[in-house]
């Protein structure tokens, strides 16, 4: 039976899927009022696909045969919309999305980024944080807009950076916090405690 109190969502992944796992775990334990209707990966090898299978969630792979960005995103949109989600979460989805895609999901598209935005948008955030000598680093959950890594911030988690940190050690410290704040932000969205406002 469909539980109408659960927020239907679709998750997009590209790799390991540990954030997806955190969302699955909290959903299964009843802490997160969501129904994960599908997990879509742009990479066949993504470990997160196995996590979804294990949880009994439908999966799809849309790989690079759709080389043209507009065509890829249109195909992705059609697939996502076939599940009629109220929320789409990017959980380590490593593709830049077209403005058309982003507008289509305006106000219901979330991302987690491994830095304290607006610091360190883009890739290699942990290495860059160490190189910059910052004392604090972290992760950010934000609404996605067509300005990459610049959408309105929902939640951030801070961690210390120690002098002997390597990017891997720092990444692990941040990831632990990601697994805490992503479900928390999704819960706030599901409970309508946050809404997206156009700037
Ligand atoms: C996470 O650290 C996430 O913040 C990052 O990719 C990792 C995915 O890990 N996302 C980005 O860098 C987005 N630009 P996961 O697959 O184990 O969740």
**Tell me: the pLDDT tens digits for 59-101?**
999 986 667 899 999 999 999 999 999 999 999 999 999 999 9
* Tokens describing residue 163: 């002098």
Give the pLDDT score at 197: 87
pTM of the model: 0.96
Catalytic center residues? 113
Using a 10 angstrom Cβ sphere, with 0-12 exposed, 13-18 middle and 19 or more buried, the burial of residue 188 is middle
According to CATH, the topology of domain 7-190 is Rossmann fold (3.40.50)
DSSP string, 45-88: T-HHHHHHHHTT-EEEE--TT--SHHHHHHHHHHHHHTT--SEE
Protein residue whose Cα sits closest to atom 1 of ligand 1:
92
Predicted confidence (pLDDT) at residue 2 exceeds the cutoff of 80 = no
Q: Residue 178's beta-bridge partner residues? A: none
87-90 and 136-143: which strand pairing?
unpaired
Give the pLDDT score at 65: 66
Predicted confidence (pLDDT) at residue 184 exceeds the cutoff of 60 = yes
Q: Which of 112, 120, 170 to mutate to test the pocket of ligand 1 (most atoms within 8 A of CB)?
A: 112
Mind listing the pLDDT tens digit for each residue in 8-18? 999 999 999 99
**What average pLDDT does the segment 52-56 reach?**
98
Can you give the residue ranges of every domain in the chain?
Answer: 7-190
Give the pLDDT score at 199: 64
Alpha-carbon gap, residue 11 to 38, rounded angstroms? 6
């Amino acid at each position: 039976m469909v539980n109408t109190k659960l927020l239907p969502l679709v998750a997009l992944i590209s790799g390991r899927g540990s954030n997806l796992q955190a969302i699955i775990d909290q959903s299964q334990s009843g802490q997160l009022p969501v129904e994960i209707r599908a997990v879509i990966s742009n990479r066949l090898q993504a470990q997160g696909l196995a996590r979804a299978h294990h949880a009994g969630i439908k999966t799809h792979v849309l790989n690079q045969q759709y080389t043209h960005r507009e065509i890829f995103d249109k195909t992705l949109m059609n697939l996502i919309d076939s599940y009629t989600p109220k929320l789409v979460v990017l959980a380590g989805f490593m593709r830049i999305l077209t403005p058309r895609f982003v507008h289509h999901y305006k106000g219901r598209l979330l991302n987690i980024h491994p830095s304290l935005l607006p610091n360190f948008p883009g890739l290699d955030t942990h290495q860059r944080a160490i190189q910059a000598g910052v004392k604090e680093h972290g992760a950010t959950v934000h609404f996605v807009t067509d300005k990459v890594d610049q959408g309105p911030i929902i939640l951030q988690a801070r961690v210390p950076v120690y002098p002997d940190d390597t990017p891997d050690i720092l990444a692990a410290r941040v990831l632990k916090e990601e697994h805490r704040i992503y479900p928390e932000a999704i819960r706030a969205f599901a409970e309508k405690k946050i809404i997206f406002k156009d700037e």
